[in-house]
Amino acid sequence: MRRGILTGERLVAVFLCGCVLFNYPLLSLFDRRVDLFGIPLIYVYVFTAWAGLIALMAWFTERRGE
């Protein structure tokens, strides 16, 4: 029971984190004409942050035991 509540809290944290990562003003920091490995920075940023959030969610929901 306790673990379920904790997982829920972690997922809410992921949600809030995502809300900040994918909105103004953080987004505007990466919205500039800079390339990373030849790929526009904003493209790299959005996909990396997105993948990171998914990894966090997977980690929080799939692991067993503490």
Partner 1 sequence: MLNGPVIVVASLLYLGLLFAIAWWGDKRADQGRSVISSPTIYALSMAVYCTTWTFYGSVGRAAVSGIGFLPIYLGPTLVMALGWFLLLKMIRTAKANRITSIADFISSRYGKSLLLGGLVTVIAVVGIVPYIALQLKAVSGSVSLLLNYPEIVMPGRSTALPVFADMSFYIALILAAFTIVFGTRHLDATERHEGMVAAIALESVVKLLAFLAVGLYVTYGIYDGFADIFQYAADDDRLRRLSTAIPSGQGYTGWFSLTLLAGLAILFLPRQFQIAVVENVNESHLKRAAWLFPLYLLLINLFVLPIALGGLLHFSGQGVDADTFVLTLPMAHHQEGLALLVFIGGLSAATGMVIVETIALSTMVCNDLVMPALIHLRGAALAEASDLSRLLLRIRRGAILVILLLGYLYFRLAGEAYALVAIGLISFAAVAQFAPAMIGGMYWRGGTRGGALAGLSAGSLVWAYTLLLPSFAKSGWLATDFLTQGPFGFNLLRPQQLFGLDGLDEISHCLFWSFFANIGAYVAVSIMRSPTAAEASQARLFVDALKYARPVGAALWRGLAKVSDLTALVGRFLGPQRAESAFADYAKRHGQVAIDALEADAELVHFAESLLAGTIGSASARVMVASVAKEEPLSASEVMNILDEASQLRSYSRELERKSRELEAATRDLKSANERLQELDRVKDDIMSSVTHELRTPLTSIRAFTEMLRDDPKMRLAERERFLGLVVSESDRLARLINQTLDLAKIESGNADWRGSALDLKEVIEQSVASTSQLFNEKGARVELDLQSGLPSILADRDRLIQVMLNLLSNAVKFLPLNAGRVCVSLRAGAQGLEVGVADNGPGIRVQDQQVIFEKFRQVGDSLTNKPAGTGLGLPISRRIIEHFGGRLWVDSVPGEGATFRFFLPFAPDNGV
Enumerate binding residues for partner 1 (CB under 8 A).
7-8, 11-12, 14-15, 18-19, 22-24, 27-28, 31-33, 35, 37-43, 46-47, 50-51, 53-55, 57-58, 61-62
Burial 28-39 (b: 16+ CB within 10 A, else e): eebeeeeeeeee
Least distance CB 66 / partner 1 (angstroms):
16
Least distance CB 44 / partner 1 (angstroms):
9
